[in-house]
Chains A and B, each alone.
Chain A
Amino acid sequence: MTPGAQPYLPPAAAPPLPAAGAAVIGLDVVRLAGFTADACLKCNVCNTVCPVARVTDRFPGPKYVGPQAQRFRSDQARSPQSARPQRVPRSPVTPLSLLEPPARPGGPGRQTAPRPLSPDLTVDWCSGCGFCTRACPAGVEIAEINSRARAVLRVQNAAPRLAGVPLRRRPLRDWALGQTDLLGRLGVPLAPLANAFLGSRRLRSLVQAVAGIHRDAPVPRFAGRTFRAAWRRAGHPLPRPGAAVSVGADGRFPRPDRAVVYFHGCAANYQEPRVAESVVAVLARNGLETIVPDQVCCGLPLISNGYYAEARRKATRNIASLAEWAAAGYRIVTASTSCGHTLKAEYRTMLDLDDPAARSVAGATWDIMEFLADLHESGRLDTQFGSLAGPGGTARPLLYHAPCQLRSQGIGLPALDLLALVPGLEPIDLDHDCCGVAGTYGLKEEKYEVAMAVGAGLFDKIRAVDPARAPAAACDSETCRWQIERATGRPTLHPVEFLAEAYRAAAPSGQRPADGPGPSVDDRPADARGAPPEPGSTASA
């Protein structure tokens, strides 16, 4: 930001959220997702947009497992918060397919062996992409109903636990996939070993046999140092809970019009610190300092895997930390669309966290691209981007996939608008519904093939463009980036990384903003970033 430019104005208090379905039924209770099922017209529109039902017969479609099955769920079965373990009768025809789905995956479109499938148990095949909820003309929160139903089944069929850890194979795996914080804390110190392990196909086969994580599924590599560690080492504070309220008094942090609060989430901390660096650099270029608040995993991986109680503990801690900053007038930005959607919406729709603090966090949270687009629309974005053209100055197509968790935010496709500002880049919307991975869904051995079939059209569109013309793709969500990279071999980056690169291309070396990012914490060589081995390769990283 140039001196004298208009300071960035924080938003007023968040306006009240509209009550979903309220226009239909007119009662306050309909704000609970489960009750919106009563507005279902049975029109099948949700089924037309479901990426999973599109490719496999194992999932009957969102209408059946969502609003339709909801009418057969008891009050207790609608609420993950009040669900209790119970014995589920084992039917000789329908085994507990939710907990132990057959390992033999159904091919796209057709299933070889017919078996009776209860709509209630097949809810586990819902990937949670949210297309159904957005397509519904009647306001039924279908994906939310599905997620809650899965969480209830998880509680009712709870595996025995030792020190909190489930003791059956699939529940253990799903629980572990939800522990992104824990995995990161273990993986980063052991990064060389862990990455070699994850890069070995033989060992991945072992992981699949033991833990049920498909050997070809995209698994990210750990960075050698977390973003938070690098940030602290570069001399920046990592405020503890309670720090925000003392901001004004000791002047430790810049005013809310000069800084934003950054929710980095797990991926940018443990696996992709380069994304966090880019966020910091792009904000700095626009005169905004970055504050890195106390935070834990947003909880989405736990929500997706049905572990609501643990997700709620994470959510409560994040809200306690972030609400102080929101109350002080700061905007909270995140470069993870998954974390962003969770902070904005899922704490309320899934976890029933709807108090003033949760609402203030939801109202203050911005996706980084949404935030930058807003800066641009008000004329405050530094648009002095250097060219990212290819050799000879030819403009390069940038293949862009809009992830589900971005579309669920309802903020348009701000990355496309911003990337179009960079000389030499021609962003192209790949216009495909879902890459398939849906967070941790596509990692599971029984769901891997479904996930790959969901994303097949996207991968084809990317492969159709010569890597020499379009050496990289862009996507706002980390798990989607890993899925696309793994499936196509095309390096896939966050859009903010291209903006940071374009700013670097504009500024002669040595003129980077003084308060820019810390030292590079991504210790992989440049050519290894985002270039995982092809499926089938036996080479270790």
Chain B
Amino acid sequence: MPSCDVLVAGAGLAGLTTALAAADGGASVWLVAKGHAATHWSHGGLDLAAPPGTVGGGEGVALLARRPGHPYEIVAEDLPAGLARVRRALDAAGLAYEGDLASPHGRIPTAVGATRPAGVLPGAQAAARAPWRPGEGLLVVGFERFRDFAAPAVAASLARPLPWAGAPRPERVTAVGVTLPGLAERRNLDGLDLARAFDDPSWRGPALDAIARAVEPHRGDGELRVAFPAVLGLADHPAVAAALDARLGGPWFEIPLVPPSVPGLRLYEAMVAALRAARVAVQVGFAVSAAIRTPDGRVAGLATAAAGRPFPIRAGQVVLATGGFASGGLVATADGRVEEPILGLPVEAPPQPAWLAPSMFDPAGHPLEAAGIRTDRKLRPVGPTGERAERGVRIAGALLAGARALRERSGDGIAIASGERAARLALARTVGALAVPSGPVAAGPAAGPEGRGAR
């Protein structure tokens, strides 16, 4: 069976960050996941923390870090290093994210014509947060026959004061529909189809011409900012953005859409490119089915549900970054239990009658959101009384207990910071300590003969 220094389960932002940090530190790394998930569903930005009442990400992180039991209480100190690492990977892919812990959240438009506070933004979304100047207008561009973005509805909503919640806003908001070449002959398209069309230089030119022609009449006396659905190229996005800059000669930004999220795909591809460059073995498509254990019960690897029989991977250190309920890292059963399905770790969760707040839009979110695995400061899982629940395993990302990430807008920051921390602590225990050479095929770890067993 293959073996490595660090084995990461989960291909969301937490798992990707963990794997990259471990590989950067010289470890041999495997990353396994049962499928794609969080990145492909996300807006592509990095939400660090924007709890109500805070103005900037750093302030939000500091506030949450003071809350007993919140993941940031443990991992906030690792956020700057993790964020810098992730941004290096994004920069290398030409995505040039904007903002940092000091940036104010601002409010940026969404695909339903609401607004939201933002964290670190993809370059193509950065102009959404720039302060609105007196007289500046917003033009929302939609593409005819593209059904995932209704520009007139978005513009109509953003023209009202309500979505902006008192924040500075454009003086006027209008919409225009652009007919892109050839779409009438094509099947029902999603954002990814359009992004791939923009990747094609021969199609891109006429398409950008059509866009520029449609935008031109809307340039009045004041300044104009232009919003597009986030479909402006996937693999060749930097070139599309540069070409659009040249055509428009003014500020523009992308609004992320429903999945498949093109900005999320760009983020994922950039991180995986960094992992490949760091010689991380990435295998998506097979769920973890069992743990490999040493005779004294320490976790020494994982087996995945490969074709025909489990495929075991031995590892000096295992990091679970399998996510929360949406990604299957946590499972809620019909009879009111919350389970961690891979190792059966003890889950900290409210009793079922208290899972949900009475109001769907409760400002504090829902108690069940905070469910997860409680850990010690080294991200090792612990039980209700603080006793170690499992050895050889660390937890990162949405699987950690204590955050209400949706309300706090803290999910990406927690993923990055906990991934960075998990990797740092794992590195301290493996590389050098066990003297396992790096590379895809490493010598066996010092864990001794393994025993297998689910749970």
Contact = CB atoms under 8 A, between A and B. Distances in A.
Interface of A: 14-15, 17-18, 23, 43-45, 47-49, 54, 57, 60, 109-114, 117, 133-139, 341, 343-345, 362-363, 365, 373-374, 376-377, 407-413, 416-417, 420, 429, 431
Given A341-B307, A345-B308, A110 B36 contact: no
Closest 4 CB pairs between A and B?
Answer: A134-B285, A344-B308, A410-B306, A137-B35
A377 B283 contact: no
Nearest to A405: B307
Contacts of B308: 14, 17, 343-345, 362-363, 365, 409
Interface in B12-57: 30, 34-37, 40-41
Contact of A411 (B200, B305, B311): B311
Given A17-B305, A345-B308, 5 more contacts: A45-B35, A112-B185, A136-B35, A362-B307, A411-B307
Nearest to B197: A109
B357 to A, nearest CB: 23
A60 B36 CA distance: 20
A57 B328 CA distance: 32
A117 B191 CA distance: 20
5 contacts: A14-B308, A17-B308, A137-B34, A362-B307, A420-B441
A114 B284 contact: no
B196 interface: yes
Given A43-B259, A109-B197, A411-B311, A135 B306 contact: no
Nearest to B453: A15
Contacts of A343: 308
Nearest to A413: B281
Contacts of B196: 54, 109
A342 B303 CA distance: 21
B37 A45 contact: yes
Interface in B160-198: 182, 184-188, 190, 192, 196-197
Interface string B199-237: 010000000000000000000000000000000000000
B424 to A, nearest CB: 26
B37 A137 contact: yes
A111 B185 contact: yes
B305 A412 contact: no
Given A57-B186, A134-B35, A374-B1, A48 B260 contact: yes
A14 B305 CA distance: 12
B307 A410 contact: yes
A503 B452 CA distance: 35
For A48, A54, A431, the residue with the greatest tally of chain B CB atoms inside 10 Å of its CB is A48
A409 B304 CA distance: 11
Interface residues of B, number: 50
B286 A134 contact: yes
Nearest to A12: B452
B452 to A, nearest CB: 8
B135 interface: no
A203 B197 CA distance: 38
Nearest to A348: B308
B233 to A, nearest CB: 14
B185 A114 contact: yes
Nearest to B310: A15
Given A344-B307, A374-B1, A410 B286 contact: yes
A15 B260 contact: no
A363 B440 contact: no
For B186, B290, B307, the residue with the greatest tally of chain A CB atoms inside 10 Å of its CB is B307
Nearest to B265: A48
B60 to A, nearest CB: 28
A47 B260 contact: yes
Nearest to B331: A23
B134 interface: no
A48 B192 contact: yes
Contacts of A117: 187
Interface in B246-280: 258-260, 265, 276
A275 B287 CA distance: 33
Nearest to A122: B187
Given A134-B286, A344-B308, A45 B40 contact: yes
For A49, A60, A111, A137, the residue with the greatest tally of chain B CB atoms inside 10 Å of its CB is A137
B441 A137 contact: no
A56 to B, nearest CB: 9
A110 B197 CA distance: 10
B307 to A, nearest CB: 4
Contacts of B328: 23, 137-138
B3 interface: yes
Given A47-B192, A137-B34, A377 B441 contact: yes
For A110, A341, A344, A413, the residue with the greatest tally of chain B CB atoms inside 10 Å of its CB is A110
Given A57-B187, A374-B1, A363 B35 contact: no
Nearest to B196: A54
A407 B285 CA distance: 9
B384 interface: no
Given A23-B341, A376-B441, A412-B2, A110 B311 contact: no
B94 interface: no
B309 A345 contact: no
B362 to A, nearest CB: 24
B110 interface: no
B69 interface: no
Contacts of A374: 1
Contacts of B310: 15, 18
Interface in B408-455: 440-441, 444, 452
A52 to B, nearest CB: 12
B53 to A, nearest CB: 33
A136 B265 CA distance: 15
A213 to B, nearest CB: 27
Given A44-B260, A48-B260, A410-B304, A60 B34 contact: no
Nearest to A134: B285
Interface string B286-303: 110110000000000000
Given A48-B36, A110-B186, A135-B35, A431 B327 contact: no
B135 to A, nearest CB: 40
B276 A43 contact: no
Given A137-B327, A139-B287, A417-B440, A412 B281 contact: yes
B306 A409 contact: yes
A147 to B, nearest CB: 15
A135 B284 contact: yes
B307 A409 contact: yes
